[in-house]
Each structure stands twice: as C-alpha cells, then as structure tokens.
Structure 1
Amino acid sequence: MVGSKDLQPSPTSFGKVFYNNQFREHPVWPSPDTNLSGKTAIITGGNTGLGYEAALQLLGLKLSKLILAVRSLERGEAAAAKLRKLHPNANVEVWQLDMCSYPSIQAFASRVDSQLSRIDIAVLNAGGMRLEFTLNKSTGHEWAVQVNYLSTILLALLLFPILKAKGKSDGSPARLTIVSAALTLAAKFPNKNEIPLLASFDNPKNFDQQETYNSSKLLAHMFLWKLVDCVSADDVIVNLADPAWCKGTELTRDIKGAGMKLAFKAFGMLGRTPKVGASCFVDAIVNHGKESHGCFLMSWKIHPFAAFLYTPEGKVVIERVWEETLAELEFAGVRPILESMRA
C-alpha cells in the first residue's frame, strides 16, 4: 500500500494546489449500498457547520447511534432535535466536551468507555482559529495549538484503546478521522527550531494569525507520522481529512470587528458548500480502508504531506514534536496507552 509518507512532495506551488483542490476536484460520494446500521459514531463539534453536515451524511447512511460531542449542551440539543426529526430511527445523543479542558476530555473518554457497548467511528472535527493572540486559561497554551492540536491528540489517544476493544464487532477496524487543512502544505512554521518547541507558541512574539493556525494543523501531521508505528490498521484506521475552504461554517466564529467579519464572509463565498466539505470526512471513513492509515486525504484521495516533513530537518522536528507532546500529555498515561496499542 502506498501512503502519504511514500509519496513524493507536490512539485507544484501551493497556489496551484489550492486552486485545483478548491475549484477543480469533484466529490466522491459513498456507494448507494453503503450501510452503517448497527454502528455508533462520535463527532466533536457536531452541532454546527461541517460537523453537523457530517452528522447528516452519516445518519443518511443508516448510522444507528450518534454522539454529538459539544461544548454547549443547549446548542447541541437544538442540533440533535433537528437530526432526530430528519432521522427518527437513529439514536442521537448530546454529550458535553470542552476541548479547552484536559479534565473534560478525560471525563468524556471515560464516559465513552463506560457507557457505550460499541464505538466504530470518531470524527475529531472541533477546532478553529483566532485572529488575536489568546492563551487557553486552563493550560496556558496558545488557543489554536491547544484546541487544534494538543487537545485533539489527547482525545485521539484516549479513544484508541476503546475503539480497538469496541469497534471490531463486525470484523472490520474502527475509524478515527482528524479534520485537517490544505493550509498545512503552506505552513512556514517560523518557530520550528525553537527549543522547547510547543512552549514557543505561547510567546505572543511568535503569534501570527494565519501561520499559527497553519502550524497548529501541521503539528498533527507530524505526530501522525510516528503514531502509525504504534497503532495497527487492523485495530483502528486513523487518517487526516481536508474539507478545503468552505462557506457557512463557524471556523472564524471568534473573529472580532465588523470589517474582518465582512472580509472573511466575502472570501467565504468562494468556498465549497458544507455538504461538499463534510463529504471529505465521510469519504475518509467509508470510501477508504487500510490504505489510508496514517495518511492525509485531500480532494478525496491520498495526498503527500508538506514537503518539510520529508527533509532531514523535518525528521528532527517530527521527533521533537512527538516527544514534547507525549511529555505534555504524560498526566493522562499516554505512553502506556501507546504500548497497549502495540500489543
């Protein structure tokens, strides 16, 4: 099988890659006979935007049970009510999850383990960007790096043994898809040589609204590069999926200022519809098998990682990201979890 790590980095400019991905590629929809009946899925941030649309599409494939993992139970219940009306035969539940809080993530994973008899699919969609430097109050880390990377990786690691144990009841591996971004291919990662690396994002002097977001997504690519050596595709297929730029989402919900909101709204008109964007997540789950393990999916197919990851310097930074991330999440017992996944 040829994965993202085996492909040559794209020789074309990011501008051309972006244009082709955004405007020239066409959705690959699931086969009409795709049937997810009996299966259970989790979608983080599933009450709005791409998460909600992914929920719609999975329920349309006869998914039996859906957990909307959301920060606001009130907004989650409002979304769930609409989904239940459209799909009355499905069981849609709303569980609280605050991606800014390590204890909330741990409590959510414990609830998954104790209350679900099976879990087949996890879509880690919650995330966003900030135009102003913001520290996450509970951890002291820069907000985008905390939510888009550290918290997402912690949740993935906590879910892996549960997915391994409870996601193979029909003989096929469980699925975990992390929502990514084509912008990782354009990330300049200006602080990549800082030691320690992760802590360098917490310095406001290193903040750049676009570069910090790009790097927060690129960090997940680096972690995945080594993660697949610990997690077998026979147990859990894990991949990254890019929805491209989409209109009608809440990615920039925290942007302040009428001018900036208007600018992003105008640019958003060029974006894909949420239906097309979310189809990338569903494609990663139902159209791709073990060949996609450890891969970055873009334009509904396996795509190379950012060119930097293939370089000698990139390999050094990958090791640093791996070790610093495991050290940051040591409190949650992530190293023993990885060892258990190797067994």
Structure 2
Amino acid sequence: MPGGDGTPGHMARFIGAQLFGNCPKPTQSFAGQTVIITGSNTGLGFEAAKYVVGLGCAKLIIAVRSVEKGESAKRSIVQTTGCDPKVIDVWPIDLTSYDSVRTFADRVDRELDRVDVLLENAAVASVEWNWVLDNERMVTVNVISTFLLAFLVLPKLKETASKFNTKPHLTFVTSDTHFLVDFKEKDAPEGIFNRLNDKTKSIKNQSERYPTTKLIQVFIVREMAARLAKQSTSVIINCTNPGLCQSELSRELDGLQIRAAKFVLARTAEEGSRNLIAAAAGGNETHGQYLDMGKVKTPATVVVGAGGAETQRRLYTELMEKLDMIVPRVSANL
C-alpha cells in the first residue's frame, strides 16, 4: 500500500475520477494575453498551447529544450488552429541548466511587454538516481529550476498586473501522486534538501522521488501565495493536477505496471490539459490552492494536517537559500 493518504478509499476515488471525471473544455478568452508554457512541444503542454491559441491569446511562448521540436509543435498548432504563425514563438530553455533558466528569464524581461500566464508544465519522472548540477535530477528540474524560473519572471508578472490592470497567473502543474508519500525527509536534522540529495539515505525510496517533488511544489505554492497576499494579490499563484494522462512524462517509468495503469485509467493529453487551462484562468479563489478537475480541493494530509505549516515554512526557507545562491536576492522578487 502506498504511503501518505494512499488508503483503499483514496485509491477508489482516484480510479473513479480517472474513469468518470474531468474538466469541461475551456471557453474563457485569453484575448490580448501573452502566455508562456514550459514543456509545450508534446503532451499536456502541447494540448494546453493549442487551447490558449484557440482562445485568442496574442502571444504564445513555447518554452522547450529542443527548438527543432518546438518549431514542429508550432507548425502543428498553426495547422490545427489556423492562427497567425506570428502569434507563436519558440524559445529554448533547459531546466537542467540554471544558466539556461536565467537566459530565458532575461529574454522575457527584455523582449516581452507583458506576461499574463507562466504555466510551468515541464517536469521529469524516473526511478533512477541521477545527479544534475547540485541536486538529484528530479529535485533540480521539478523544484529548483522550476521555482527559479518563477521567481525570475515574477517581476514581469507584477509589472503586467500594474500596467494593464489584470491578474496574471503563475501556475504549476503538480500531481495527485503527492497524496501517496509520507515525506519522512521533512524531519531530517541535516535539512530537507540535504536528505533528498543524500544517495545513501534516499536510493531505497527513489520510487517516491517524483511524487515527493510534486508534494514540495504544493507546499511552496501555498507559502508563496500566503506571503504575496501580505502585500497584495497582484498575481494569482496556484497548482493543478491533470491526473494520470497519456503523455511522455512516464517514458522513464515504462514498466508493465505503468503501461497497464495507463491503458485502463489514463486520460488523453487533451483531457488532462483542460486542468492546466482551468488553473491558468482561475479566479482569486484559486490563489495558493491545489486544483483538481478544475476545482479547489484539499491537498494531502501532510500538507494541511498537524505540522504541515511548519514543514511549509521550513521548505520555503531552505529553497530560498538555494535560489539566492544561484541568483543573489532573487527571493526578494516575491
């Protein structure tokens, strides 16, 4: 049995949601908006890109590692939606490189007049231990680089809010797998990230690493939103669960069990992407919240239960220390 909230009841609800529940197709206009979607050449990000273009966005930035694959995705979106090719730009970003993240964010600041949505969809899932930069790979990609990009682009989101009297969105694609881990690392005396990056202590739990990084996202989104609200909710920060979908995310997890689960339960990438759009167009009530099937839902017990607030603050403090070491004082951008 999985850890965390992974009870038979929870698993039954998950199966029911996969088979019988999902967001309706989005209809809210993105007219005049500039939207950035990471990991948007395939899967959920690609389908979300088609939606925002079809719903009238003025500029879409396809943010991907491979410009060649991004250009191919652009051609497909143009063909499918009939949009003007000038609406879509393909920009490179590699979340395994902090320099690449900084270069991308510098370009955002320099070249874009506004950013209405930063939809952080790119992620990696694996059961193998790999080291990238100064962390285990999933920690680097799904947490450190993901939030580094968010903090670097936040000034442009705030500027957009002020300049155009709008409510920009900073949306993270998380996962309902965050319910299935106990997050024992939260109590590590040497620090949460130090424990996550200790191979000798983590390798036995490597199968929990992807859901753990998604759990961390939920914690950090809640803390960011709480701290931003102390000043003003000029930017709506939220996270969304697309559910188990047919996508390339599980390409490194392609065992028999995963293939069977996807065959029986997985939504299409288009169906899953509706959850991304629902969050990227959500109202003030979604600020700091975890969304599932387009609605605000309560996250895992480890988040909202006893000790959750303390873990949330500890995680945020540790993450800000790491981000400030990469880009001095970037944490002040909130």
Residue 228 in 1 paired to residue 225 in 2? yes
Q: CA deviation at 1:114?
A: 0.3
Mean Cα deviation higher: 169-178 or 180-189: 169-178
Work out which of the residue numbers 23, 30, 55 in structure 2 matches 1:27.
23
After superposition, residues 93-108 of structure 1 pair within 5 angstroms as 93-108=89-104
List runs of 5+ in structure 2 lacking aligned partners.
none
Q: How many residues align?
A: 322
Q: Deviations over 1:13-64 (max 9, x none)?
A: 4213312321232322333xx3222211000001011100000111110112
Work out which of the residue numbers 16, 32, 49 in structure 1 matches 2:12.
16
SS at match of 1:210: helix
* 2:83 alignment counterpart: 88
SS at match of 1:231: helix
Q: Distance in 2 between matches of 1:152 and 1:135?
A: 17
Preserved CA contact (<8 Å) 2:226 2:288: no
Q: Distance in 2 between matches of 1:264 and 1:229?
A: 36
* 1:216 alignment counterpart: 213
Mean Cα deviation higher: 121-130 or 75-84: 75-84
SS at match of 1:191: helix
Give the TM-score normalised by structure 2.
0.90
Preserved CA contact (<8 Å) 1:80 1:92: yes
SS at match of 1:151: helix
* 2:126 alignment counterpart: 130
Q: Deviations over 1:146-176 (max 9, x none)?
A: 1111111111111111111024554221011
Give the TM-score normalised by structure 1.
0.87
* 1:53 alignment counterpart: 47
* Pair 1:143–1:336, CA change in 2 (3 A): closer
SS at match of 2:83: coil
* 1:3 alignment counterpart: none
Residue 328 in 1 paired to residue 322 in 2? yes
Mean Cα deviation higher: 159-168 or 119-128: 159-168
Aligned-pair identity (%): 30
* Pair 1:276–1:112, CA change in 2 (3 A): same
After superposition, residues 219-258 of structure 1 pair within 5 angstroms as 219-232=216-229, 234-247=233-246, 249-255=247-253
* Pair 1:11–1:171, CA change in 2 (3 A): farther
* 1:155 alignment counterpart: 149
Q: Deviations over 1:281-334 (max 9, x none)?
A: 111122x20010000001221011211123343333222211110111113457
* Pair 1:216–1:116, CA change in 2 (3 A): same
Mean Cα deviation higher: 175-184 or 228-237: 228-237
Q: Distance in 1 between matches of 2:275 and 2:168?
A: 18
After superposition, residues 281-296 of structure 1 pair within 5 angstroms as 281-286=276-281, 288-296=282-290
SS at match of 1:133: coil
Q: Distance in 2 between matches of 1:124 and 1:178?
A: 5
Work out which of the residue numbers 116, 121, 127 in structure 2 matches 1:120.
116
**Amino acid of the residue matched to residue 76 of structure 2?**
K
Preserved CA contact (<8 Å) 1:326 1:334: no
Q: Distance in 1 between matches of 2:208 and 2:331?
A: 32
Preserved CA contact (<8 Å) 1:14 1:186: no
**Amino acid of the residue matched to residue 130 of structure 1?**
S
Q: Distance in 2 between matches of 1:12 and 1:63?
A: 42
Q: Distance in 2 between matches of 1:314 and 1:252?
A: 29
Mean Cα deviation higher: 238-247 or 20-29: 20-29
Q: Distance in 2 between matches of 1:44 and 1:59?
A: 15
Q: Distance in 2 between matches of 1:262 and 1:72?
A: 29
Work out which of the residue numbers 199, 202, 212 in structure 2 matches 1:204.
199
Q: Distance in 2 between matches of 1:16 and 1:312?
A: 25
Q: CA deviation at 1:212?
A: 0.9
Mean Cα deviation higher: 221-230 or 274-283: 221-230
List runs of 5+ in structure 1 lacking aligned partners.
1-8
Preserved CA contact (<8 Å) 2:127 2:206: yes
Q: CA deviation at 1:219?
A: 0.7
* Pair 1:13–1:127, CA change in 2 (3 A): same
Q: Distance in 2 between matches of 1:71 and 1:167?
A: 29
SS at match of 1:127: coil
**Amino acid of the residue matched to residue 201 of structure 1?**
L
